[in-house]
Structure 1
Amino acid sequence: MTEPEIIAALRLQNIPNIGNVTAKKLIAHCGSPTAVFEDKMHHLLKIDGIGKVTLKGLQDTIYLEEAQEEFEFLSKQNITISYFMDEDYPARLKHCLDGPIILFQRGNIDLKGQKLISVVGTRNVTNYGVSFCHRFIEELAPLNPVIVSGFAYGVDIAVQKAAMDHGLQTIACMAHGLDQIYPKVHAKYQTKIERNGGFMTEFWSTSQPNRENFLKRNRIIAGISEATIVIESAEKGGSLVTADLAHGYHREVFAVPGRATDKWSKGCNDLIKYQKAHILTSAAELVYLLGWEIEAEKQEKAVQKQLFVELDETEQSIYKYLQINGKQLLDTVALECNLPIFKVSSTLLNMEMKGVIRPLPGKLFEAV
């Protein structure tokens, strides 16, 4: 994208009353961001849903001057600018009508062909929540997913630290410009995140971490991934907003259950109770419902490394059943082996890691 087009896109992003949906309408009608400012006003007013109030600031030069200043700032920093029609713009976010027309990224973010999941939760995370974060990421690590979160206190930083501990790429979606880190206490993780992942925002360098920005930021967290996981949440909170946004984007939503009396599990329990989220007790359930598979090469290496792998009693029972009966659904395995589904789900993932079974299209499993 050329410098004039980037500045024009920034200018559009900056004008009051022109949100991302309207900006995309204007660009689609005119052909490019610069063309929007070159077109006649009476032509633009013919666009469905566009009125004089919406276009009031279109010719105000103050927004051009501010866009030029922001572009100069970004050019001097190690910040990547992603236009919503560029190849490096997050693929799933392109399908969100209200996705930002411009995103700013810092670090080493690589999303091509990657599995992305967003993990959110309360800032008042309990020991149960932290423990689940670490166990969940440890179980998922062999599949090398990208972990997206909001870099906030509580669940966000717990899951992003777990991702870094396991060498996974993690993306912190921020509610302010990339000229600062919020909360400041998390600045100590900045370098490590930027080495394998990075920071992402739609906000300019002049933006502050105001409450309304966090709510806007949540739609990026929900829209960028194929699934959103809520680990702990009270009855109300930003995590539930993110879950609702993900549901609206037709993404899968998962929630970790807790005791009925736990304040910080009420939101998750309600998501499950009202069928707004799948119950999540292990990574295996996520892998199964998303249809993720370990690449054939990894499977072959696992088999080569573990020719004489040891299986526990449950694993032996499942392996023997699959050997005799061939490809089977998880539910069928659970029924025939007389085991609960959650037990079979986690056991199959462990066996997959050991290289003795493999998942197939249609959510089938077979012995290797």
Structure 2
Amino acid sequence: MGTEELLYVLALQHVPNLGDSTAKKLIRHTGSPKAIFKEKKQNLLKIEGVGNTRVKELFDPVHLKAAEAELRFIETNKIKPVYFQEANYPEKLKHCLDGPILIFQRGNIDLKDRKIISIVGTRNITSHGTAFCEKLVEELSVLDPVIVSGFAYGVDITAQKAAINNQLQTIGCLAHGLDQIYPKAHKKFVRPVEENGGFITDFWSSDSFDRNNFLKRNRIIAGLSEATIVIESAEKGGSLVTADIADSYNREVFAVPGRPGDKYNTGCNNLIRSQKAHLLTSAADLIYILGWQLEPEAKAVQKQLFVELDKEEELIYDFLKKSGKAQLDTIALNCNFPTFKTAGVLLNMELKGAIRPLPGKLFETT
């Protein structure tokens, strides 16, 4: 994107109460952000949902002046702006009506053809939640997913540290501009995150920190990802909002069940009970629902590393050897295991190279 074009995109983004969906409508109608500011007011008024107040606000010269200042910040601090019509704009975010017309990136972000999941939850994560999150990311690491979160206390930073420890790319979606870091206690994690991914926001450097920004930020967390996982949540909280947004985008939502009555299990249990989220007990549940498969190279490595099967795995292996291809439910029924447990055993066997998944959610021995 050229400097002039970026200037007008920034000016459009600066217009208050315009919204990204309306901004996209204006761009489609006129052809470009610059053309919007050159268009006659009466023509813009013909666009459904724009209205006189917004059109009047568009032509306030304050927006171009503000855009010039933000452009200087971007250039000085080597921020990477990404326009929603550019090829390197996150693919899944393109399909969100209210996705930002412009996002700002810093670090080493590469989302092309990647498996992407978001992990969110309470800021008051328990030791059980921490252990589950770390194990989940470790189990998923063989699939090399990108881990997205909000860089906040609790579940967010736990997931992102786990990603770094497993050499996975991780993205921190910020509720403020790239001129600051919140919480300040997490400054020590900025460099590791940027080396293993980076930060994304649609807030400007001139945007002061405000807790209300979290709600706007959450749509990016949900929009970037194929699925959103909630690990521990009270009855109300930002992670539940993120789950609702993900659901509205027709993305898969997963929640980790917890003991009834525990404060930070209530939100997850409610999501599962209302059927707004899949129950998540291990990486196998997510892999099964999303239909993810190991790459051949990963399978080969895992087969060399693990050569022994335990009794449960041997039972399933023997059944598949005799019957050939079979679906998860069929395997569970014939081996007398619960479905959720069978999914976990199948994942372990796949990692060991003993079986392989097939189209149609079938499995067979290698």
TM range, smaller chain: over 0.9
**What's the counterpart of residue 333 of structure 1?**
331
Equivalent position amino acid for 2:212 in 1:
E
- Residues 122-161 of structure 1 mapped to structure 2, 5 A cutoff: 122-161=122-161
**What's the counterpart of residue 350 of structure 1?**
348
Partners of 1:341 and 1:209 in 2: CA distance:
46
Partners of 1:349 and 1:252 in 2: CA distance:
20
Equivalent position amino acid for 2:95 in 1:
H
- How far did 1:302 drift? 3.3
**What's the counterpart of residue 277 of structure 1?**
277
**What's the counterpart of residue 184 of structure 2?**
184
**What's the counterpart of residue 201 of structure 1?**
201
Equivalent position amino acid for 2:318 in 1:
K
- Residues 1-368 of structure 1 mapped to structure 2, 5 A cutoff: 1-303=1-303, 305-306=304-305, 309-368=307-366
Partners of 1:57 and 1:217 in 2: CA distance:
24
Partners of 2:19 and 2:286 in 1: CA distance:
34
Q: Give CA deviations for 1:225-284 in whole Å, capped at 9, x if unaligned.
A: 010000000000001000000000000000000000210000000000011100000000
> Identity across aligned pairs (percent)?
60
Task: Check the 8 A contact 2:328/2:362 in 1, yes or no.
Answer: yes
Aligned length: 366
Partners of 2:63 and 2:50 in 1: CA distance:
19
- How far did 1:49 drift? 1.3
TM normalised by structure 1 equals 0.98
Task: Check the 8 A contact 2:110/2:197 in 1, yes or no.
Answer: yes
Q: Give CA deviations for 1:55-100 in whole Å, capped at 9, x if unaligned.
A: 1221111110110110111011121100001111111111100000
Q: Secondary structure at the match of 2:92?
A: helix
Q: Secondary structure at the match of 1:112?
A: coil
Equivalent position amino acid for 1:336 in 2:
N
TM normalised by structure 2 equals 0.98
Q: Secondary structure at the match of 1:286?
A: helix
Q: Secondary structure at the match of 1:365?
A: strand
Partners of 1:260 and 1:178 in 2: CA distance:
40
Partners of 2:289 and 2:160 in 1: CA distance:
23
- How far did 1:164 drift? 0.6
Q: Secondary structure at the match of 2:48?
A: coil
Partners of 2:78 and 2:329 in 1: CA distance:
50
Equivalent position amino acid for 1:338 in 2:
N
Partners of 1:257 and 1:205 in 2: CA distance:
39
Partners of 1:270 and 1:57 in 2: CA distance:
43
- How far did 1:298 drift? 2.2
Equivalent position amino acid for 1:241 in 2:
V
- How far did 1:297 drift? 2.6
Task: Check the 8 A contact 2:142/2:298 in 1, yes or no.
Answer: no
Partners of 2:253 and 2:215 in 1: CA distance:
18
Equivalent position amino acid for 1:119 in 2:
I
- How far did 1:17 drift? 2.5
- How far did 1:136 drift? 0.4
Q: Secondary structure at the match of 1:310?
A: coil
- How far did 1:20 drift? 0.5
Equivalent position amino acid for 1:3 in 2:
T
Q: Secondary structure at the match of 1:53?
A: helix
Equivalent position amino acid for 2:357 in 1:
P
Partners of 2:186 and 2:49 in 1: CA distance:
43
Equivalent position amino acid for 1:69 in 2:
A
Range with bigger deviation, 354-363 or 117-126 = 354-363
Partners of 1:191 and 1:17 in 2: CA distance:
34
Task: Check the 8 A contact 1:232/1:256 in 2, yes or no.
Answer: yes
- How far did 1:355 drift? 1.0
- How far did 1:360 drift? 1.5
Task: Check the 8 A contact 1:17/1:53 in 2, yes or no.
Answer: no
Equivalent position amino acid for 1:359 in 2:
P
Q: Give CA deviations for 1:7-61 in whole Å, capped at 9, x if unaligned.
A: 1011000011211011000000011111111111111111111211111221111
Partners of 1:289 and 1:176 in 2: CA distance:
34
Partners of 1:204 and 1:152 in 2: CA distance:
19
